[in-house]
Amino acid sequence: IAGITQAPTSQILAAGRRMTLRCTQDMRHNAMYWYRQDLGLGLRLIHYSNTAGTTGKGEVPDGYSVSRANTDDFPLTLASAVPSQTSVYFCASSGAGGADTQYFGPGTRLTVL
């Protein structure tokens, strides 16, 4: 059982480029989340999805979009990357939309130059 996989592991990106971070879970969890982790700021929620076909905004959604076409996949897209989006991005999932433990992926380290 892989749990949650994220790709790529790391990426260096020129400002203005479009980038999609991939997240796949094999636990059949209903809820999925995207966070960014920055030194001194901790983890902040970007977007979430309670179930396939629905998404919602977290604390810092600007500049990011998500989709949830099926249960397993929850990609995060940066339409036009900016240097302030340099961060470590974590995907997570839980069985019952927050009433259950969150399981985290290994993260994607993104650098925008």
Task: Establish if 41 lies at the interface with other proteins (CB under 8 A).
Answer: yes
Q: Convert residues 50-89 into a mask of x (bound to other proteins by CB under 8 A) and - (unbound).
A: x-----x-xx------------------------------
**Which letter does DSSP use for residue 73 in this model?**
B
Please give the C-alpha separations between residue 28 and each of 9, 49, 72, 101, in angstroms, as whole numbers.
23, 13, 7, 14
43 near other proteins, judged by CB under 8 A:
yes
Could you tell me which stretch among 12-20, 32-40, 63-71, 77-85 binds other proteins (CB under 8 A)? 32-40
Q: How many residues bind other proteins (CB under 8 A)?
A: 28
- CA–CA separation, 71 vs 51, rounded Å? 7
Which residues 6+ apart lie within 8 Å of 16 measured at CB? 80, 81
**Choice between 14 and 62, CB closer to other proteins:** 62
Edge-to-edge order in the sheet of strand 64-66: 4-7, 19-25, 76-78, 64-66
Residues forming contacts to other proteins in the complex (CB under 8 A) are 4, 31, 33, 35, 40-45, 48, 50, 56, 58-59, 90, 92, 97-107
